[in-house]
Amino acid sequence: MRKTVIAIGTNLGDRKKNIETALNLMRERGVNIVKVSSFYETEPYGYKEQPGFLNAAALCKTNLSPYELLETLLSIEKKMGRVRKIHWGPRIIDLDIIFYEDFVINEKGLSIPHPDMQNREFVLKPLNEIVPCYVHPVFCKTVRTLYEELEKTQKTNKIT
């Protein structure tokens, strides 16, 4: 079985239940959940005029290929009622493949590792909790290092 890390986000409805439902649907579809992070309240990213998010991450194992996993996650989003109207807009559930082993895939519709994860605290914070030593296959840095670098950047960019 292959290791994969999935980021989970939601900002509509019963957010905690949405994450739990998504995890259960993943289990039903051949994605074994090994470990789930705490749930984190976060501000919207990109499009700011929307409710706050609840984010988490899951370390998983699967026999699905990266493409099959993507299709599985998209089908779960659809089943749960996700509608894509506004880029970075409100969503009942968002499931993103962050890592799939040490694969690097850059194709239309599938980018692994997730191309902007290193700039997103709502991704790195839960990842740092469950897989701090996971090495990003492009940057050759651990999740912990990426998270610490982002924290330093955010602190220096804050205006008090």
φ, ψ dihedrals at 32, nearest 5°? -85, 120
Whether 116 sits among the annotated catalytic residues: the reply is no
Check 29, 82, 102, 116 and give the catalytic one.
82
**Residue 20 token pair:** 């739990």
Name residue, tokens 């099959």.
Answer: 68
Check 2, 84, 96, 116 and give the catalytic one.
96
Whether 94 sits among the annotated catalytic residues: the reply is yes
Check if the beta carbon of residue 26 is closer than 8 Å to that of residue 60: yes
Check 91, 102, 116, 120 and give the catalytic one.
91
Whether 102 sits among the annotated catalytic residues: the reply is no
Contacts 24+ apart (CB under 8 A), 128-132: 129/37, 129/38, 129/57, 130/5, 130/35, 130/36, 130/37, 130/57, 130/58, 130/59, 131/5, 131/57, 131/59, 131/99
Whether 144 sits among the annotated catalytic residues: the reply is no
Check 2, 14, 15, 94 and give the catalytic one.
94
Give the catalytic positions in this structure. Answer: 82, 91, 94, 96
